[in-house]
Amino acid sequence: MISEELKKIIKEGNDFLVSSHINPDGDAIGGILSIGWLLNKLRKKFIIVVDSTPSEKFKYLTDFKKIVSYSETLKIDFTIKNLLTVDVPNLERLEKVNKLLPKGIKVVNIDHHESNSNFGDINFIDLRACSCTEMVYELINSFGMSLDKDVAEYIYTGLVIDTGRFRFSSTTPRAFEVAAKLSEAGARISFIAEWLYHTNSMETLKGLGVLLDSLDMNMNGRIAFVHFDNEYLKSEEGSKMDTEGFVNYPLSIENVEVAAFLQETEKGRVKVSLRSKNNNINVNNIAAIFGGGGHAKASGCRIKGTIADAKKLLLQEIRKKLT
Ligand code: 5GP
């Protein structure tokens, strides 16, 4: 349900900073672009800023280039009065974008994570929504606007990414209803599938080979780890690959219940993606032990230490849940 309070701030407010989490995925990017589309239709002043450079995988989205990557020298030519976040469970996940926030601004929080801390002045949280873009779709509908091809593709991208191509258990009848409307509005269903899932750069495919070589099976094949060390991520080839979806390869192994994809983004700092195929193993709870979060079947966190340290710590916690 879209609250009157949410509609009011969007209708009457101005000077919005729209943002999402660091390393935005397709739902985050689709979400901020569709909010941008709505604010543009309502002739609002706004800017979209995220920490880190969005993946080029999403460059087919019309306003992709309007997403600004945070930098220390970034100048915004208006005073921010409202912050609107999409797919952000807590404000820390905005990382450096926090530096842009003046005191006393209104915060609107649109999200579907069970770990959301309700940090907004207005919180639009729907744990049943399969993607945040589905929620933005409902918001746009509540304004009675008709969709064009651009916004249909922003919303559809979030749906496809967060449902794993309408495959995850989060895929509801509503997801299909919304997808049908987006197709009617001109979203290029076949092009998006072909581009997102059947088109890879040479570096991405080679990276996948390196990743699969690192496969490390534990607990009689119930837990699978894969990783990239810092040297590979910083290498000519490694720095050009797109790792979206890589965690699904170890998860796809028969009998694997939990998969973890570890990336040593800096020396002594490991970014972890966790996935579960077992309805009784909630990886959000495992990520939370390390200060992370996400969903029951897909979560993430960061661990200080080497890849070996991170694996050891994760294994201890996952083992406890599996036994
Ligand atoms: P991914 O593994 O694709 O990066 O993220 C899976 C899910 O976990 C997403 O919903 C993402 O927002 C969440 N997530 C990933 N890393 C973190 C983290 O460090 N902290 C929190 N709170 N959530 C995370």
Paired tokens of 301: 């966190």
311 Cβ closer than 6 Å to some ligand 1 atom: no
271 Cβ closer than 6 Å to some ligand 1 atom: no
Distance 25 CA to ligand 1 centre (A): 10
**CB-based contact 113:15 (threshold 8 Å):** no
31 Cβ closer than 6 Å to some ligand 1 atom: no
Closest ligand 1 atom to the C-alpha of 115?
A: 22
293 Cβ closer than 6 Å to some ligand 1 atom: yes
Distance 12 CA to ligand 1 centre (A): 32
Is the CA virtual torsion 120, 126, 130, 133 positive or negative? negative
Q: Whose C-alpha lies nearest to ligand 1, atom 6? A: 299
The architecture CATH gives domain 202-322: Roll (3.10)
Distance 307 CA to ligand 1 centre (A): 18
Is the CA virtual torsion 18, 241, 58, 245 positive or negative? negative
Which of 20, 21, 161, 248 to mutate to test ligand 1, by most ligand atoms within 8 A of the CB atom? 21
Within a 13 Å sphere around the CA of 306, how many CA atoms are in the beta-carbon half? 3
Q: Does the pTM exceed 0.85?
A: yes
Ranges of each domain in the chain: 4-197, 202-322
What does the pLDDT look like over 78-107, one tens digit per residue?
999 999 999 999 999 999 999 999 999 999
Closest ligand 1 atom to the C-alpha of 284?
A: 8
Within a 13 Å sphere around the CA of 193, how many CA atoms are in the beta-carbon half? 7
269 Cβ closer than 6 Å to some ligand 1 atom: no
Mean pLDDT, rounded, for 224-248: 96
Closest ligand 1 atom to the C-alpha of 113?
A: 10
Q: Whose C-alpha lies nearest to ligand 1, atom 12? A: 294
Distance 303 CA to ligand 1 centre (A): 13
What distance in Å separates the CA atoms of residue 139 and residue 81, rounded to the nearest whole number? 20
> 85 CB contacts (<8 Å, ≥6 apart)?
18, 19, 20, 91, 94, 107, 108, 109, 110, 111, 120
298 Cβ closer than 6 Å to some ligand 1 atom: yes
Residues pairing with 147 in the sheet: none
Task: Look at residue 1 in the predicted model and tell me its pLDDT.
Answer: 85
* Strand stretches in the chain, DSSP E: 16-19, 46-50, 67-69, 82-86, 106-111, 122-125, 216-218, 223-228, 258-266, 269-276, 293-294, 298-304
Q: Whose C-alpha lies nearest to ligand 1, atom 11? A: 294
Q: Whose C-alpha lies nearest to ligand 1, atom 23? A: 293
Domains 4-197 and 202-322 share a fold: no
Domain at 4-197, CATH from 3.40.50.740, 3.90.1640.10, 3.40.50.1220, 3.40.50.620: 3.90.1640.10
Which residue, among 110, 40, 102, 96, has the nearest Cα to 68 in the 3D structure? Answer: 96
What does the pLDDT look like over 259-282, one tens digit per residue?
999 999 999 999 999 999 999 999
The DSSP secondary structure of 209-250, one letter per residue, reads HHHHHT-EEETTTTEEEEEE-HHHHHSTTGGG---TTTTHHH
Q: What are the backbone angles phi and psi of residue 290, rounded to the nearest 5°?
A: -105, 20
> 13 CB contacts (<8 Å, ≥6 apart)?
44, 81, 82, 106
Paired tokens of 138: 């409902």
CA–CA distance from 166 to each of 20, 162, 172, 200, 294 (Å)?
23, 8, 9, 21, 19
What does the pLDDT look like over 148-203, one tens digit per residue?
999 999 999 999 999 999 999 899 999 999 999 999 999 999 999 999 999 999 99
What does the pLDDT look like over 106-149, one tens digit per residue?
999 999 998 999 999 999 999 999 999 999 999 999 999 999 99
What distance in Å separates the CA atoms of residue 110 and residue 108, rounded to the nearest whole number? 7
